Amino acid sequence: MNTKRIYEFLEKQGLDEIDQIEYKEKIAVFNFVYTFDDAEIEAAKEYANENYEDKGEDVWYDEYFLPYLVDIAVDNVRDIVEDLAEEFDLNVDFVTYELDRNFFEQCEFVLIASDKDVNFDTDKVLDDLDL
């Protein structure tokens, strides 16, 4: 598995702050962020405003705005990861972290990848790395 090529692939897809996290020899772990563009943030605001029923600011953020943004990021990253797996013939999985209402411009992810003949347990990898 060529981790340099994986890094370059992620970079070409427009992901930001990509870091490889040292783990086991046959398993690659990357941390990166998906940065929302202005149109995605505006779409999330519109969705939240349309569905919000005046139950407090926390509800607007926690039930409408932030989940909409996470869905956008997960959908886009899923497409990137599926393309990565296909192009490099890899086993892959990823996890995302919840957004903070004070810092919602980016969504953080961890990607785990291995050659097809190497299996891994995502939860164990994350636990081993304290992620």
Sequence ranges of the domains in the chain: 3-128
Judge whether 34 and 76 are in contact, CB under 8 Å. Answer: yes
Nearest alpha carbon to residue 68 among 53, 48, 98: 48
Whole-structure pTM value: 0.91
DSSP string across 1-39: --HHHHHHHHHHTT-EEEEEEP--TTEEEEEEEEEPPHH
Nearest alpha carbon to residue 98 among 78, 125, 71: 71
Return the CATH class of domain 3-128: alpha beta
According to the model, what pLDDT value does residue 49 have?
Answer: 94
Residue with tokens 């299996």: 119
Judge whether 120 and 114 are in contact, CB under 8 Å. Answer: yes
Q: Tens-digit pLDDT profile for the chain (131 aa)?
A: 899 999 999 999 999 999 999 999 899 999 999 999 999 999 999 999 999 887 778 899 999 999 999 999 999 999 999 999 999 999 999 999 999 889 999 999 999 999 999 999 999 999 999 98
Distance between CA 76 and CA 72 in Å, rounded? 6
